[in-house]
Amino acid sequence: MVYSCFHRKGTKRHRIKRKLNLDLHVCVTVYDGSEVMEMYSIGQFVKIANISRRTLHYYNEIGLLPPAKVGENQYRYYDDGALMKLQKILLLKSLGYTLEQIKEVFHRTGQAKKENESWIQSLQEQIEWVDREKELLDWKRYMLQASIHAIQISGKIEAAEINKLIQELQARELKDGVVQPIFSDAIYSERELEILAELPVMGSQDPKMEPYVQLMGAIRQNMHEAPDSPTAQRLAESLYEMALDYFQGDTRLIDKYWEELIPGDGDPAVVYGHDRDLMIYVGEMIGHYLRTRKEEGTS
């Protein structure tokens, strides 16, 4: 197939022909004594750019990447400038920009005196958007994990209670991916507060949290057993050894903290899932475990 492209400059008319395959049409414009500019047909352009015809047509429809030239036969042709612009479009898409945002970037660039400044401003705005999205995703992840822990410890799905928990947590600040518990310096010493700050928090990704959740869930499932039964005592030993590890061997702090967790009769749990019945049962089985250990140690 022979395809011709004409360009008129002054009184001279130049005609250049190239034999091409049926798929790839190239239009070459020659300026007197200057550079040669190559134009690509849709078929060649999508092959070079590695995008689909459908995508290219859509970018044209929304005004994002119009052709550099439309021939008399209505064929659309793209130049190297369009290829460079497409690379920028693909870069921005890979950075999370929507097509509308990309159009705005190019609109600003066209109006800006310095292209670099316009791009830097746009990229900075995108960083701010990513930070906001990351914070939102961190909140969602925390809420999901906190809900999982709540169900595992309570042994049931109480939608109303979990929803109330989420609302209470959302009123607090998320720091390092969790809502940090609040401990009073009027109750705990500075050293005790340092130890408490290291405790795993519900909803966190702390590797110490999962074993605790699993153990408390197992204790709840076995509350039908007497606190001094072999099953309860095995669980009591596991929980006490875990507490010694988490509280860095401070048994007085363990007792103080555990007393704070026991809600009053008819009061809601201080920590979700740690209701009064569970906490009293744990206290009884731990009490029996410590008494037995003391007796065995003195015998």
105 vs 89: CA distance, rounded Å = 10
Task: Give the model confidence (pLDDT) of 10-33 as tens digits.
Answer: 333 343 333 333 334 444 443 444
| First CA to last CA distance, the chain | 105
Q: For residue 267, give every residue at least 6 positions away whose Cβ sits within 8 Å of its Cβ, in sequence order, or none.
A: 276
User: Is 128 among the domain residues?
Assistant: no
Q: Are 86 and 49 in contact (CB under 8 A)?
A: yes
DSSP for 110-153 reads HH-S-HHHHHHHHHHHHHHHHHHHHHHHHHHHHHHHHHHHHHHH
DSSP for 150-171 reads HHHHHSS--HHHHHHHHHHHHT
Q: Are residues 150 and 291 in the same domain?
A: yes
Structure tokens at 22: 């049926």
Tell me the pLDDT of the chain (299 aa) as tens digits. 333 343 333 333 343 333 333 334 444 443 444 455 678 889 998 998 888 999 999 999 999 999 988 888 888 889 888 888 888 888 888 888 899 988 888 887 765 556 677 778 778 888 888 888 888 888 888 888 888 888 888 887 777 777 777 777 777 777 877 778 888 889 999 999 999 999 998 888 899 999 999 999 999 999 999 999 999 999 999 999 999 999 999 999 999 999 888 888 888 878 878 889 999 999 999 999 999 998 887 54
115-146 in b/e burial notation, b at 16+ Cβ within 10 A? eeebbeebeeebeeeeeeeeeeeebeebbebb
User: Which of 57, 91, 111 is a domain's end point?
Assistant: 111
Q: Are residues 187 and 78 in the same domain?
A: no
Q: Are residues 28 and 157 in the same domain?
A: no
DSSP code at position 26: E
User: Which of 86, 111, 136 is a domain's end point?
Assistant: 111
Question: What's the Cα-to-Cα distance from 278 to each of 9, 38, 58, 154, 215, rounded to whole Å?
Answer: 92, 79, 62, 9, 12
50 vs 37: CA distance, rounded Å = 21
Q: For residue 202, give every residue at least 6 positions away whose Cβ sits within 8 Å of its Cβ, in sequence order, or none.
A: 146, 149, 150, 209, 213, 271, 272
Q: Select from 239, 234, 232 the least CA-distant residue to 281.
A: 232
User: Is 126 among the domain residues?
Assistant: no
User: Is 136 among the domain residues?
Assistant: no
pTM, 2 dp: 0.60
Instruction: Give the chain's domain count.
Output: 2
Domain assignment of residue 169, given as a range:
146-298
The pLDDT score that the predictor gives to residue 156 is 76
The pLDDT score that the predictor gives to residue 114 is 63
Measure the CA angle with vertex 238, ends 240 and 182; round to 5°: 50
User: Is 127 among the domain residues?
Assistant: no
105 vs 55: CA distance, rounded Å = 19
